[in-house]
């Protein structure tokens, strides 16, 4: 890469960078970023790191659900007896 | 500037930002109904709780750093400040992003304001 192209890349602004506060908020920001085909370096790195974090959160949700569901079933069975 | 916009503020955010939001016509509400979610500290319990919510993991919630508001204050009448640069992710995500592409814009803002003080 020539310094010029590096510079160009660094100054590149994606939808996450240019969408104004009137159109963007805490509820839609993630979707706006996701639907942007060419993300700037910073937003791309952020999205990837967040996705890994979110995956883990969802995993613990599933595990927690299994844990809470199992005792309910058991107590239901013992009541039935 | 923020007319009829609903925001939630973490307890980590200085009171003056909440006042500024309201003086600009904004409304303060709870996090489940707010359109804008502001915090200054990702590890504050009230903010950390949001990162563990389904809203966050299902891409329906982004926390913004409250220094966006001080940037707005400073840049009044100038080019609008991009709120997309003020994302405040969980602490572990912050570390990853910093290692890859350097400091967050709000870290610089924070340093500047401490220098000014
Ligand atoms: Zn960007």
Residue from A66, A75, A14, A27 nearest B53 by CA: A27
**Cβ distance of A26 and B84 shorter than 8 Å:** no
**Residues surrounding ion ligand 1 at CB below 5 Å:** A 14, 16-17, 40, 43
Cβ neighbours of A58 in B, within 8 Å: 57
pLDDT at B117 over 70: no
Q: Name the band, by pLDDT with cuts 50, 70 and 90, for residue A10.
A: low
Secondary structure of A1-21 as H, E, C letters: CCHHHHHHHHHCCCHHHHCCC
Q: What is the pLDDT of residues A23-58, one digit of tens each?
A: 899 999 999 999 999 999 999 999 999 999 999 999
Complex-level ipTM: 0.88
Cross-chain residue pair A29–B84, CB shorter than 8 Å: yes
- Over the stretch B18-71, which tens digit does the pLDDT of each residue have? 999 999 999 999 999 999 999 999 999 999 999 999 999 999 999 999 999 988
């Amino acid at each position: 890469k020539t310094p010029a192209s590096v510079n160009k890349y660094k100054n590149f602004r994606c939808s996450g960078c240019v969408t104004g506060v009137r159109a963007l908020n805490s509820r839609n920001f993630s979707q706006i970023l996701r639907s942007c085909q060419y993300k700037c370096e910073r937003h791309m790195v952020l999205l990837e790191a967040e996705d890994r974090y979110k995956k883990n959160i969802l995993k613990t949700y599933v595990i927690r659900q299994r844990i809470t569901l199992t005792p309910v079933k058991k107590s239901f069975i013992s009541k039935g007896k | 500037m923020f007319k009829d916009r609903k925001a939630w503020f973490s307890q980590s955010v200085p009171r003056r930002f909440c006042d500024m939001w309201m003086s600009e016509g904004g409304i303060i509400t709870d996090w489940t109904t707010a359109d804008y979610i502001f915090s200054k500290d990702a590890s504050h319990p009230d903010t950390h709780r949001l990162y563990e919510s389904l809203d966050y993991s299902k891409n329906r919630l982004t926390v913004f750093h409250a220094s966006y508001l001080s940037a707005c204050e400073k840049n009044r009448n100038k080019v609008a400040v991009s709120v997309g640069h003020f994302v405040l992710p969980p602490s572990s995500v912050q570390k990853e992003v910093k290692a890859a592409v350097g400091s967050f814009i709000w870290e610089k803002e924070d340093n500047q304001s401490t220098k000014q003080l």
